[in-house]
Structures are given as structure tokens and as C-alpha cells.
RNA sequence: GCCUCGGUAGCUCAAUGGUAGAGCAGUUGACUCUUAAUCAAUUGGUUUCCGGUUCAAGUCCGGACCGGGGCACCA
């Protein structure tokens, strides 16, 4: 063995490195790291240790500062500052970061050379004593170190974090490494679920687990995933809801129960939908929907207080809005130019106008939605005027399905738009300056002032479905004829299918124009019975059911029911539902009900959406560690 | 499934159709209290993939793949 490690290490090290690079030059950064690994092994050092037991975490070391106290910590190297004969590194574990100071004359020449060749992202265990640097940072003066795990790939980022959404979701570990905010959200999600469990345990609810694989998937109207059991030779479905098994447990005498588990629904993916999502369902015998309203309100405020320490939650709104706006302006200008040229040449050329229409349709649908939402938020921002102005032209000019409305009296279908080039042009000329001024004003505004504020302070608003509809669509909504309602809904800009029944027309207005505006918690009660066929009728108004929808942040967070315990009525509605033979009848469940189920209140809460609301995330993918993506 | 925006070095981003660049990371050298360390030098690219137009394509056109947003499906 050479007498001086330093002189041995370098030439041998680079000889190895060169060989490695010539062998495979796919990624030189990886090859360099592999060469360092080989060099360490050649020296008899195993950079993948089985165990290292630190005396404390990085945060504990910093928190319990006593000058000269001996400590050992372990973690990943996240930064290094090389000073020649001394060196600073940052070591980070889950608790946080601590700076370590290595000196050549303390460690010795050989170990110091090894130390300076450590890479970002390597795991090390260090021993040393606490001290404070000139600039006042608590640090560890190293007496020794052990390489615990060498990282063979470069870490993603130092300052900007990792931005590439695809890598963030597919390789979440990199996201967690690089973006502290992401880790914070995920840890808070864990805390939220912990507090939910605490809440129910304190109220003497029993936590249960029910089958994920079911022969007949029931409890919701959704497409299931199908799977196959080899030994039994039969098909199973992944559950779409927990409900039917929970009710069996009510029959069996478990009076207060809850489950937190995955549901699987075979649907498209979106900002609010992941194919597998976490659901909380809870049932309380001898309670009803009013009991459950109290439960939901108490649960969510308790969790918010414990995890966030506040009942007032801010959501940033600005980014998408500004980008959409800019996008729209650029697009509109190009459109205008193209149309003008075409219009000058030939009045009858329809293709360009039709194309323009289609472009307009897709570019603007998002902008219109955002404008609508912003104007609903009610909190006065300097943008209000500009939004109102721009809205006036947009609300008059809206796009639904295949119909494009230039002004209140004038509607043009996609096929007819060809004849209206001049109207289209003048609309653009009118809209452009408004958008421009909106953009200027939006640019001048601090992003925070556009934040959406959700106030969870009790007592939460309780409102009847019909009252909310009347508030938005006119006090005479339920006294005018069904045809008038249909026309009115259409005028408001709702999409009304030809086959829609009357209650569906009203509900289209509700889900498009009312639900998105319910930012602060609101229990919507007394839903029309047609809308929720499986629920029990309200004794005080038999046209409605004892159901609530708890809306927060413009989304339904939790539905709650007085559960149906009349086996005959339940069978009738289920048979009616199954009439389209889409889902088979769960005979076993119906038999269970016939044995008698106590009156009960029940709720479901989508945990992912609850986390979005509490943690200020606009996408469900940002509250799920590994969201579903298309396989590469 | 449909519409739309995007994919450039390990990371974050540039590049009127005309030699693919910067900062950081990496490597080398200097420096024993730095913390986005500093200073000097330097490596690194099948511009996601396939095809087309052109004397010339990261850029224009067509297609595929993946992602974001919107819609549809779905409470």
C-alpha cells in the first residue's frame, strides 16, 4: 500500500476515471461518480455501509447547542464550500440541515482528500463537536466521517429546485429532495390523516377495513377496474366505494365506524381526479344527516387547527390566470390579422373563420372560467373594475359546446360561423383593448392580492338547494314553466342536453354557477329527491331528501346522508338503477338490510381534495406522492 | 377520446431559417470561518423520436411519444 494516500489517490483515481469514460460515455457525470466509487473500493473503503447510528438528528444537534458537545449525525450532503485546506458541507436528514466543518490538520491528509472528493447527494455519517462560526451558524467540527451510501447520479438542483413536472411526479424522490415545499405538503398530508384518525377514535368510532376486491362493485355510479383471481377462476372488481360493506357492519351491530382507504374509478385523469384516490367514510347509528353535518364541521376545523394552526387558508390564484390572459392576447392578435387578410380577399371564404372560431373556443374557455371565478370571489381587488369590463364582453360572448354567442341576441353555431366573419372581427376588435388593459392591471398587482381566502371559522353556512338556485337564477325560478327554465339556463350559459329532465336543468345551473362560488364552507341541504334517489325523504318537505353536500373551495368536499334503512325502498331504487343492467344487484347487501339496519347518518370525504383545500394545492397530483401517469 | 400549450447540457433557461449558448452542477488549479463562498481555466449536446420542405431546420410542415391546462367520462 502506498505510503501517502493523497499522492496515490489522484493519479489512480483519474486513470480509473478515464477508463470508465472511454468504456461508456452516455453520461459523464454518472461515469465520474462510478469512477470515484471504484477508486474508493480500490482503497478498501466500502461506501455502502450497513449501519451508522447517529446520536441525534440534525435539528436536535442544532436545537441542543452546547459548545464543545460531542455529537454524531447522518444525512445527505446537499452543499459544499471548499476552502482549500478546510471545507464546509451541509448535511441534511428529514429533520433539517446542519453545517459541518472539516479541516485537513484535524482529519489527516488521506481522509481529507477523500472528504473533498465526496459528491453532492452522498450519504455520510459524521462525528464531531458543536461550535459556532464567525457568522453565527451552529456547526459541527468534524473529528471523523463515514461514507454511508454513495450517490451514483447527480441530484437535480441546487437553487431553482426541480421544475419539470413530469420528472417531479415520476421520480418523486427527486422532487422531495429538491423542493422542500413539496415535502412539507406531503408531511402535512400525513398529519391530516393522523388527526382524522385521532378525531374519530376520540369519538369512539371503530376503524374498520373492508374488501378492496369485490364481486359486485357498488355504492357509487362509476366504472370499476376489473381484475382476475387465478385460483378462484373468477373476476373481481376494485371497489368504487366503501359504503355497502359499512352498512353491513351497521346491521352487525358496529354502531360507529369509519374507514380510510383507496377507491378506484375507471375515469379520465384531471386536475381533480386520480384513478385511485383516498376516501374517508364514516357511519353513526342513531344519527342522521344533521348529526353528520356537525361531525364534518367539527372534524375539518379540528384538523385544520391541529395541522395548520389556523382556520383561514390562502390559495394563490395568479399564475394560471396571467398566463391564460397573455396566451389569449397573442392568439387573438394572430387571429385578427389572419381574418382581416382573408376578409379583404374573399367574403365567402368560410374555412378561416371556422378555424378562427375553433381556436377561439379552446383558448378562451379557460380564460372565461377564470374571469368568472375571480369575479365571484367578492373580495375587492384593484382588478375588479377591469374584470367587470372584460367580463361584460365575455359574458355576452361565450362559447358553449358548439354554439358561439357574439352578443345577447345573436347565436351562431360552429357550422354557421362562416357567414359572420365581420361580426367576429368586430368582436375581436372590441375585446382586444379590454384584454390588454386587464393584462396591464394584472401585471401591476401583487400576486398575493389575488389570493383566494377560505375561512373555515364556524358556524358554517347552511343553505337549502332551492334557495341557492333562486339567489342565482331568480326568485321566480321554480314558478316559471319548465321550458322557460330551460331557456333561462341556456341564456345563463349552462350546457343543457336535449334529453335533460327538468331537475337536471336546475342542477346544471347549480353545478356550473353556484358550486364553484361556494368558497367558504357551505352545507347545501334539501336537495331534490330526483337528484339523490338512494336517500331518505325529508319529513318536512317530501320533494327533498335528507342529504347535504358540504362545499368548500368551489368543490364538493363531503356528501352526507340520513342513510336508507328501508330494505324494500332500497331494493326498489337499486333495481331501478340496475335496470340498465349496468351494475348487477348486490343481493347479499339487500339481504343484510332485511335483517334490519339502525337509522344512521353517513358521510364520505375525499381525502385528496380535502388536502388540496387545506394545503392550498390546485392539483390533486400535488397532494399524492405517486400520482398516476401513463407508463413510459 | 377531443382541443390547446410545451419537450434544448445533470438542473434552470436563451438562441429574426444561417457556426447551439449562459448560469449553476462536474473536472483542474488557488484559498483553513464559508453559507447561492470567491477567483482562474475547462469538459459536457442524436435540440424527445420518425419523416418532409429547404442550399441550410432547435426553428417551418406532417406524424408518433410523454407532460401541463381545458373538455368529455366521473360526485
| Strand B–CB A152 distance below 7 A | no
Cα–Cα distances (Å) from A386 to A380, A432, A447, A520, in that order, read 12, 13, 16, 25
* Shared domain check, A295 and A199: yes
**Whole-number Å distance between alpha carbons of A547 and A518:** 17
User: Is A616 contained in some domain?
Assistant: yes
> What value does the mean pLDDT take over residues A598-605?
96
* Shared domain check, A140 and A22: yes
Please give residues of chain A from 412 to 471 whose alpha-adjacent beta carbon (CB) lies under 7 Å from any atom of strand B: none
Q: How far is the CA of A493 from the C1' of B52 (A)?
A: 44
Q: Domains in chain A: how many in total?
A: 3
**Whole-number Å distance between alpha carbons of A379 and A362:** 29
CATH number at residue A424: 1.20.120
The band of A65, judged by pLDDT with boundaries at 50, 70 and 90, is: very high
Q: Using one digit for the tens of pLDDT, what is the confidence trace for A192-214?
A: 999 999 999 999 999 999 999 99
* Shared domain check, A143 and A23: yes
Q: How far is the CA of A12 from the C1' of B46 (A)?
A: 33
Asked which of A391, A426, A450 is the last residue of a domain, the reply is A450
* Shared domain check, A326 and A288: no
Q: How far is the CA of A350 from the C1' of B53 (A)?
A: 27
User: Is A56 contained in some domain?
Assistant: yes
pLDDT at A83 > cutoff 80? yes
| ipTM of the complex, rounded to two decimals | 0.92
pLDDT at A442 > cutoff 70? no
Q: Using one digit for the tens of pLDDT, what is the confidence trace for A343-357?
A: 544 333 344 444 445
Mean pLDDT over each residue of chain A, to the nearest integer = 81
β-sheet bridge partners, residue A127: A72, A144
User: Is A630 contained in some domain?
Assistant: no
Task: Considering only residues A440 and A160, tell me which one the structure prediction assigns the higher pLDDT.
Answer: A160
The band of A583, judged by pLDDT with boundaries at 50, 70 and 90, is: low
pLDDT at A454 > cutoff 50? yes
Q: How far is the CA of A621 from the C1' of B53 (A)?
A: 41
Task: Considering only residues A122 and A517, tell me which one the structure prediction assigns the higher pLDDT.
Answer: A122
> What value does the mean pLDDT take over residues A352-363?
47
> What value does the mean pLDDT take over residues A470-477?
87
Residue A532: what pLDDT?
84
Q: Using one digit for the tens of pLDDT, what is the confidence trace for A214-256?
A: 998 888 888 899 999 999 999 999 999 999 999 999 999 999 9
The band of A337, judged by pLDDT with boundaries at 50, 70 and 90, is: low
* Shared domain check, A435 and A373: yes
Task: Considering only residues A370 and A414, tell me which one the structure prediction assigns the higher pLDDT.
Answer: A370
User: Is A401 contained in some domain?
Assistant: yes
> What value does the mean pLDDT take over residues A494-504?
78
- Nine-digit cell at A283? 357511519
Q: Which residue is nearest to nucleotide B75 (CA to C1')?
A: A556
The band of A119, judged by pLDDT with boundaries at 50, 70 and 90, is: very high
Asked which of A394, A425, A450 is the last residue of a domain, the reply is A450
Q: A117-131, A177-191, A382-396, A447-461: which range is least confident on average?
A: A382-396
Residue A500: what pLDDT?
81
The band of A518, judged by pLDDT with boundaries at 50, 70 and 90, is: confident
* Shared domain check, A353 and A281: no
Task: Considering only residues A180 and A443, tell me which one the structure prediction assigns the higher pLDDT.
Answer: A180
CATH number at residue A589: 3.30.930.10
pLDDT at A378 > cutoff 80? no
Q: How far is the CA of A125 from the C1' of B71 (A)?
A: 53
Task: Considering only residues A338 and A498, tell me which one the structure prediction assigns the higher pLDDT.
Answer: A498
* Shared domain check, A14 and A141: yes
Please enumerate in sequence order all residues whose Cβ is within 8 A of that of A80, keeping only pairs 6 or more positions apart, or say none: A87, A88, A89, A90, A118, A120
* Shared domain check, A299 and A207: yes
Using a 7 Å cut-off to protein CB atoms, list the covered nucleotides of chain B: 1, 3-5, 10-13, 23-38, 43-45, 65-75
Residue A110: what pLDDT?
92
Q: Which domain holds residue A405?
A: 318-450
Q: Using one digit for the tens of pLDDT, what is the confidence trace for A1-51?
A: 233 333 334 444 444 433 333 333 346 889 899 999 999 999 999 999 999
Residue A373: what pLDDT?
54
**Whole-number Å distance between alpha carbons of A504 and A509:** 9
Per residue in A368-385, is it b (16+ CB within 10 Å) or e — as a string? bebbbbbbebeeebebee
* Shared domain check, A381 and A324: yes
* 8 A C-beta contact, residue A421 and residue A472: no
* Shared domain check, A352 and A308: no
* 8 A C-beta contact, residue A5 and residue A43: yes
* Shared domain check, A204 and A332: no
User: Is A175 contained in some domain?
Assistant: no
User: Is A216 contained in some domain?
Assistant: yes
Q: How far is the CA of A3 from the C1' of B28 (A)?
A: 24
**Whole-number Å distance between alpha carbons of A175 and A163:** 9
| Strand B–CB A365 distance below 7 A | yes
Residue A492, SS3?
helix
> What value does the mean pLDDT take over residues A279-296?
96
pLDDT at A396 > cutoff 60? no
CATH number at residue A125: 2.40.50.140
* Percent above pLDDT 70 for chain A: 73
pLDDT at A467 > cutoff 60? yes
> What value does the mean pLDDT take over residues A178-195?
95
> What value does the mean pLDDT take over residues A617-624?
93
pLDDT at A542 > cutoff 50? yes
| Strand B–CB A361 distance below 7 A | yes
| Strand B–CB A323 distance below 7 A | no
β-sheet bridge partners, residue A602: A283, A561
Residue A160, SS3?
coil
Asked which of A416, A450, A484 is the last residue of a domain, the reply is A450
Residue A326: what pLDDT?
59
Please enumerate in sequence order all residues whose Cβ is within 8 A of that of A274, keeping only pairs 6 or more positions apart, or say none: A608, A620, A621, A624, A627, A628
pLDDT at A64 > cutoff 60? yes
> What value does the mean pLDDT take over residues A422-439?
64
Residue A54: what pLDDT?
97
* Shared domain check, A142 and A60: yes
User: Is A507 contained in some domain?
Assistant: no
User: Is A434 contained in some domain?
Assistant: yes
* 8 A C-beta contact, residue A298 and residue A523: no
| Strand B–CB A131 distance below 7 A | yes
Q: How far is the CA of A500 from the C1' of B3 (A)?
A: 25
**Whole-number Å distance between alpha carbons of A380 and A152:** 53
Q: A163-177, A294-308, A403-417: which range is least confident on average?
A: A403-417
Q: A172-186, A304-318, A383-397, A506-520: which range is least confident on average?
A: A383-397
Amino acid at each position: 500500500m502506498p505510503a501517502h494516500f493523497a499522492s496515490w489517490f489522484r493519479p489512480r483515481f483519474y486513470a480509473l476515471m478515464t477508463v470508465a469514460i472511454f468504456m461508456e460515455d452516455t453520461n459523464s457525470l454518472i461515469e465520474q461518480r462510478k469512477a470515484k466509487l471504484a477508486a474508493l473500493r480500490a482503497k478498501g473503503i466500502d461506501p455502502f455501509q450497513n449501519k451508522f447510528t447517529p446520536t441525534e438528528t440534525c435539528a436536535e444537534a442544532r436545537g441542543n447547542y452546547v459548545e464543545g458537545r460531542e455529537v454524531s449525525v447522518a444525512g445527505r450532503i446537499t452543499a459544499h464550500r471548499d476552502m482549500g485546506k478546510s471545507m464546509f458541507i451541509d448535511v441534511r436528514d428529514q429533520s433539517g440541515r446542519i453545517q459541518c466543518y472539516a479541516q485537513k490538520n484535524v482529519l489527516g491528509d488521506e481522509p481529507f482528500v477523500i472528504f473533498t472528493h465526496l459528491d453532492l447527494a452522498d450519504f455520510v455519517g459524521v462525528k464531531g463537536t458543536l461550535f459556532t462560526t464567525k457568522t453565527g451558524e451552529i456547526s459541527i467540527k468534524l473529528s471523523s466521517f463515514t461514507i454511508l451510501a454513495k450517490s451514483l447520479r447527480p441530484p437535480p438542483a441546487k437553487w431553482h429546485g426541480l421544475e419539470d413536472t413530469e420528472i417531479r411526479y415520476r421520480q418523486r424522490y427527486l422532487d422531495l429532495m429538491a423542493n422542500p415545499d413539496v415535502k412539507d405538503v406531503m408531511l402535512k398530508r400525513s398529519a391530516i390523516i393522523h388527526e382524522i384518525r385521532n378525531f374519530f377514535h376520540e369519538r369512539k368510532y371503530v376503524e374498520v377495513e373492508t374488501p378492496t376486491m369485490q364481486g359486485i362493485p357498488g355504492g357509487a355510479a362509476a366504472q370499476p377496474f376489473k381484475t382476475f383471481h387465478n385460483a378462484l377462476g373468477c373476476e373481481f372488481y376494485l371497489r368504487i366505494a366503501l359504503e355497502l360493506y359499512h352498512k353491513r357492519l351497521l346491521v352487525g351491530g358496529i354502531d360507529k365506524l369509519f374507514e380510510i382507504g383507496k377507491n378506484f374509478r375507471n375515469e379520465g385523469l384531471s386536475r381533480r381526479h386520480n384513478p385511485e384516490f383516498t376516501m374517508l367514510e364514516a357511519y353513526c347509528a342513531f344519527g342522521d344527516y344533521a348529526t353528520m353535518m356537525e361531525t364534518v364541521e367539527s372534524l375539518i376545523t379540528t384538523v385544520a387547527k391541529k395541522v395548520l394552526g389556523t382556520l383561514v387558508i390562502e390559495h394563490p390564484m395568479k399564475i394560471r390566470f396571467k398566463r391564460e390572459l397573455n396566451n389569449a392576447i397573442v392568439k387573438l392578435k394572430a387571429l385578427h390579422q389572419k381574418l382581416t387578410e382573408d376578409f379583404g380577399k374573399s367574403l365567402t371564404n368560410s374555412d378561416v373563420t371556422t378555424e378562427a372560431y375553433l381556436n377561439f373556443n379552446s383558448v378562451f374557455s379557460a380564460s372565461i372560467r377564470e374571469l368568472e371565478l375571480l369575479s365571484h370571489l367578492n373580495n375587492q381587488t384593484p382588478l375588479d373594475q377591469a374584470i367587470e369590463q372584460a367580463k361584460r364582453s365575455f359574458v355576452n360572448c361565450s362559447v358553449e359546446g358548439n354554439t358561439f354567442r357574439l352578443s345577447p341576441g345573436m347565436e351562431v353555431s360552429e357550422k354557421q360561423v362562416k357567414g359572420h366573419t365581420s361580426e367576429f372581427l368586430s368582436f375581436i376588435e372590441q375585446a382586444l383593448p379590454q384584454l390588454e388593459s386587464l393584462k396591464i392591471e394584472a401585471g401591476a398587482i401583487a400576486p398575493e392580492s389575488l389570493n383566494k381566502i377560505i375561512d373555515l371559522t364556524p358556524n358554517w353556512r347552511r343553505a337549502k338547494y332551492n334557495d341557492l338556485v333562486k339567489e342565482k337564477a331568480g326568485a321566480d325560478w321554480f314558478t316559471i314553466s319548465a321550458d322557460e327554465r330551460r331557456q333561462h339556463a341556456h341564456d345563463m350559459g349552462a350546457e343543457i342536453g336535449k334529453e335533460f329532465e327538468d331537475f337536471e336543468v336546475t342542477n346544471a345551473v347549480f353545478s356550473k354557477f353556484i358550486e364553484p362560488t361556494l368558497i367558504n364552507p357551505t352545507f347545501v341541504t334539501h336537495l331534490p329527491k330526483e337528484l339523490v334517489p338512494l336517500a331518505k325523504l325529508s319529513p318536512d318537505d317530501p320533494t327533498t331528501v335528507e342529504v347535504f353536500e358540504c362545499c368548500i373551495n368551489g368543490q364538493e368536499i363531503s356528501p352526507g346522508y340520513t342513510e336508507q334503512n328501508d330494505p324494500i325502498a332500497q331494493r326498489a331504487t337499486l333495481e331501478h338503477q340496475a335496470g340498465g343492467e349496468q351494475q348487477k344487484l348486490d343481493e347479499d347487501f339487500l339481504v343484510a338490510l332485511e335483517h334490519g339496519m339502525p337509522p344512521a347518518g353517513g358521510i364520505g370525504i375525499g381525502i385528496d381534495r380535502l388536502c388540496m383545500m387545506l394545503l392550498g394545492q390546485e392539483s390533486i397530483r400535488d397532494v399524492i406522492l405517486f400520482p398516476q401517469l401513463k407508463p413510459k
